Homo-oligomer: A and B are copies of this chain.
Amino acid sequence: MNPVLYNLMAEYGMALDEDRLEDWVELFEEACDYRIVTRENVEQGLPNVLIWCDNKNMLRDRVESYRNVNLYNPHYDRHVIGLLRLVGEKDGLWTFDASYSLFQTDLEGESRLFSVGRYRVEARVEGKAAKLKTVTVIADTGQIPSLLATPI
């Protein structure tokens, strides 16, 4: 596995957890695709998508709207991302999976499990740099409030 990809996914989680959402957007290419689906829907062949941004401007818009509403859901996120499972590589485009656990901590300092699932990622590596082309979050956990949610 390419160590650049380990660093990319570490930064992916850290940017979200530190509320650096604009930095998180910059991890993507312009022609990118980010979506959150539930595993149940995937396995039943249902087309439901909880969040879907099919280019970088949509990601930017989403982050901007989130900035306008996040007063109402103050919490800390914490991603613990597992080992990367390589699926394949072609012409510098790497496909891999990674399990994640996502915890939330409320204003009283209490932490709880918020979501678990898997990332399916395509990332382009050029030398020591890497950009995300597609990220599909396949959440095992079913209850995901979509309006106020930060990205997973």
Contact = CB atoms under 8 A, between A and B. Distances in A.
Interface stretch (A7-15, A53-61, A64-72, A129-137): A7-15
Copies in the complex: 3
Interface in A95-136: 97-101, 103, 105, 108-113, 115-118
A79 B85 CA distance: 12
Contact of A83 (B13, B101, B113): B13
A80 B100 CA distance: 6
B83 A111 contact: no
Kindly state the interface size class of chain A when it binds its partner.
35 or more
A101 B80 contact: yes
A118 B17 contact: yes
B99 A17 contact: yes
Contacts of A82: 10, 13, 79-82
A146 interface: no
Given A109-B38, A109-B40, A140-B105, A80 B10 contact: no
A105 B141 CA distance: 6
Interface string A21-46: 00000000000000000111000000
A97 B143 contact: no
A86 interface: yes
